Structure 1
Amino acid sequence: MPRWALGLVFWLLPTVGLADEVRIAVASNFLAPLEVLAARFEAAEQIETRISAGATGHHYAQIANGAPFDVFLAADQARPARLIDEGLAVAASRFTYASGGLVLWAGPDEAMPESGLSGLTAPDVHRLAIANPRLAPYGLAARQALEATGQWSALRPQIIEGANVGQALQYLATGNASHALVAASYAHMSGQPEGEWQRVPARLHDPIDQDAVLLEQARHPQAGQAFLAFLRSSDAADVLKRFGYKSPGADS
């Protein structure tokens, strides 16, 4: 083979996929399972993952302003649907990849109210951390649960809002909050604050269904499609179950 032809072959090789990558914007609550999934995906597909975690509302604003993401893993269904309506996401790619829940977490030196969530107005609840309801779907679910139990107005002065659900849990870990309403997935992760937690009944808030979507401005659309296909796999479903999520089509 002529040298120029051999050089052309090596010049073309990176476009086949070995040098490919996928940039993923993910809701903070799903960062830990995504890191596990990303490692498995990289090993199987030889595609590098680049992850940016934050509040779903923040990611929506970044994408609307041209942020170079390929895939958006939201903590709700509304923002992916809105991106599709605005011509910024691929309608056919959208699906629900996980369904989550809430837990009430009492700090290591704090008591869980005797009546659980309904007892948050007790004197030993000093500060309650939640994610910002305007930006984070888990924060909105926390507000809905407090409204459903008739405590939102009374607790409002004691509520401290994190930019995302991870920051809300950090307030608990650092002692800036005595209790927190956060994603149930954190109860299934290592390295979390000590203390006691209780599951919040799902009937107290809207379903927390989390949608994934491929973005129209994706610089690596094939890699993005490959990752979304992996997210639908049985391997991914096992990871989601381990972190306390329901995967699409789950019966329980």
Structure 2
Amino acid sequence: MRRLGAALALAGLISAPTHAETVHVAVAANFTAVAEQLAPLFMAETGHDVSYSFGATGLLYTQISQGAPFEVLLAADAERPRRAVAEGLGVAGTVFTYAIGALALYSTSLDLSDGKGVLEAGDFDKVAIADPATAPYGRAAQETIEALGLTDAITPKLVTGESISQTLQFVESGNAEIGFVAASQVVGKSGVWLVPADLHEPIRQDAVLLKAGEANPAATAFLDFLRSDAAVAVIEASGYVIE
């Protein structure tokens, strides 16, 4: 029995990381709920811990460029991770697409079974979008409005959120009757119209290992975990597409 106990103890030491570390991850706001679901799975799988900071991709990137100690960036676009590598903030060869997002029009009070018709009719006072300058879902919303030829009609009614999370709050609090949000934020809710993908550029969400995390085994383990079957299943169930 003593030999068996010693063998089991040794096996436990081999399977667990020698030193558990914490990875600090900057996460695009649209991915908040998914990231929170992934955290305990990551910890159980690797023994490492993860600490998140959520926000609009552009704002997070500004923080990174100003020295914020993030070790991984999960962006809501492909632009910032590539820029991070080009500007020496990210590690070359680590960029990959972890999800492709979908845009949705959402309301707690209006029937959006014909979302395009609702936008064209204009029978509302406020439309919420995330800031197109910093939030890729806000840019996609702006592109959608332009593609529908409704820029002049809708622009005076826009209420702009700092992030896609704040945009959702505007709708749910009644500060805007409708709003463009991430489809992942409204999975299972009523009052949702999925915006046709051909009305805006694809929302490719890329990840990158940042220079600050290059020597942290938890950072590389987290990026590996994102591509695991367990993580992909959670991401896809939340309304994203994985290539």
* TM-score between the two structures when normalised by the length of structure 2: 0.89
- Give the structure 2 partner of residue 56 of structure 1: 57
Matches within 5 A, 1:126-205: 126-188=125-187, 195-205=190-200
Displacement, 1:198?
0.9
In the other structure, the counterpart of 1:43 is: 44
Tell me which stretches of 4 or more aligned residues in structure 1 moved more than 3 Å: none
Partner of 2:13: none
C-alpha contact (below 8 Å) 1:60/1:79 kept by paired residues: yes
* Structure 1 residues 9-37: Cα deviation after superposition (integer angstroms, max 9, x where no partner): xxxxxx9322x100000000001111111
The CA deviation string for residues 100-157 of structure 1, in whole angstroms up to 9 with x for no partner, is: 11111122x3333x74225314242210001000000000000000000001222111
Letter in 2 for 1:81: R
Shift of 1:167: 0.4
Secondary structure of residue in 2 paired with 1:67: coil
Residue aligned with 2:93, SS: helix
Alignment match, 1:10: none
Structure 1 counterpart of 2:204:
209
User: In structure 1, how many angstroms separate the alpha carbons of the residues matched to 2:27 and 2:101?
Assistant: 14
Q: Which moved more, 1:218-227 or 1:149-158?
A: 218-227
Question: What's the CA shift for 1:88?
Answer: 0.4
Counterpart position of 1:103: 104
Find out whether 1:26 has 2:21 as its counterpart.
no
The residue type paired with residue 178 of structure 2 is H
Partner of 1:233 in structure 2? Answer: 228
**Structure 1 spans left out of the alignment, 5+ residues:** 1-14
SS at 2:213 equivalent: coil
TM-score normalised by length of structure 1 = 0.86
CA distance in 1, matches of 2:87, 2:122: 47
Structure 2: gaps spanning 5 or more residues: 1-16
Residues 22, 48 of structure 1: 8 Å contact kept: yes
CA RMSD of aligned residues (A): 1.6
